[in-house]
């Protein structure tokens, strides 16, 4: 007789980012670490507002955390690039991406972002996706206008998390997205990322295990500006909240903030998650 209970599938994360700051690179590392522990799944990474180098970098992070394992038909690294018209200049942080191990070499190696997000939602169980937005909201506004997509979003998306940061200020487009979006919305307050920066000392010490291949996140952190510096953790805080909103450190009112008494606990979680070694992952099966 078959068991009547089924293990809940990992939470799917769709991450929309410009990949222009160290906190975004750290957030992506944290997501892959959590995927290795089967706490989440990287459903899609959509690069919006940057060039091909940012997509290469996102792909390189995925290749690094895959540990060199070959992808099977159910596990293709899910990187998309908003590439209509002339691509923006790449951020300084990712200009070294061409030197990293990766599979993306040309625009044709990336996915079209609207299709990427639609396919990512379709592949997940109902109510089991969190969308993390830290860049321009135009792509999500366009998704809402496509036939059947609003219904798909309503069925599949648990919540939309908007990460306040210098790259996502309040705007008419963001206000429109808040008004039109059909699922619950949470907002990570900008103050969290500014109050708990990621320490340069961790970059120098806690990633030292990566000796066989350059750690892409460490390379990005060093490329962003001269070391040492502590980087605001906007996207990293948002990513950890998206995956673990139940942790007691969060204060949830109009916006998500952090309990002042829990700042050290959150910083410890930042460091332990981001600097963890890649797990040997079992292949994912379709949900």
Q: What is the pLDDT of residue 6?
A: 65
- At residue 215, what are phi and psi to the nearest 5 degrees? -75, 120
Could you tell me if residue 32 is inside a domain?
yes
How many Cβ atoms sit within 10 Å of the Cβ of residue 74? 10
Could you tell me if residue 94 is inside a domain?
yes
Q: Are strands 256-258 and 250-252 parallel, antiparallel or unpaired?
A: antiparallel
Q: What is the pLDDT of residue 67?
A: 77
Q: What is the pLDDT of residue 83?
A: 87
Could you tell me if residue 3 is inside a domain?
no
Could you tell me if residue 23 is inside a domain?
yes
Could you tell me if residue 282 is inside a domain?
no
Could you tell me if residue 279 is inside a domain?
no
pLDDT single digits (tens) 227-276:
999 999 999 999 999 999 999 999 988 999 999 999 999 999 999 999 99
User: Tell me, what CATH number does 102's domain have?
Assistant: 3.90.245.10
Start-to-end CA distance of the chain, whole Å, equals 22
Could you tell me if residue 280 is inside a domain?
no
Residue-range definition of the domain harbouring residue 257: 11-274
Q: Which residues of the chain are under the pLDDT cut of 70? A: 1-6, 68-77, 280-287
Q: What is the pLDDT of residue 21?
A: 97
How many Cβ atoms sit within 10 Å of the Cβ of residue 210? 15
Could you tell me if residue 180 is inside a domain?
yes
Structural domain count, the chain: 1
């Amino acid at each position: 007789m078959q068991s009547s209970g089924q293990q809940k599938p990992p939470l799917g994360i769709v991450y929309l980012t410009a990949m222009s700051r160290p906190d975004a690179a750290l957030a992506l590392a944290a997501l892959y670490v959590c995927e290795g522990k089967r706490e989440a799944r990287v459903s899609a990474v959509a690069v919006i507002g940057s060039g091909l180098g940012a997509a290469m970098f996102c792909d390189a992070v995925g290749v690094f955390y895959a540990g060199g394992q070959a992808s099977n038909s159910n596990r293709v690294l899910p990187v998309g690039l908003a590439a209509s018209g002339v691509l923006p200049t790449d951020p300084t942080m990712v200009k070294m991406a061409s030197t990293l191990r990766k599979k993306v070499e040309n625009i044709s190696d990336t996915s079209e972002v609207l299709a990427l997000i639609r396919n990512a939602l379709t592949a997940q169980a109902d109510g089991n996706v969190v969308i993390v937005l830290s860049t321009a909201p135009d792509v999500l506004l366009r998704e809402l206008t496509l036939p059947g997509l609003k219904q798909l979003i309503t069925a599949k998306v648990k919540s939309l998390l908007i990460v306040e940061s210098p790259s996502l200020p309040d705007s008419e487009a963001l206000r429109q997205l808040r008004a039109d979006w059909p699922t619950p919305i949470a907002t990570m307050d900008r103050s969290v990322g500014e109050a708990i920066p990621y320490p340069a000392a961790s970059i120098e010490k806690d990633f030292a295990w990566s000796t066989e291949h350059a750690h892409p996140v460490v390379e990005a952190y060093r490329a962003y500006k001269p070391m040492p510096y502590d980087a605001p953790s906007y996207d990293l805080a948002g990513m950890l909240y998206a995956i673990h909103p139940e942790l007691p450190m969060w204060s949830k009112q109009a916006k998500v903030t952090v309990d002042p008494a829990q700042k050290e606990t959150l910083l410890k979680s930042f460091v332990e998650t981001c600097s963890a070694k890649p797990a040997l992952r079992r292949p994912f099966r379709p949900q």
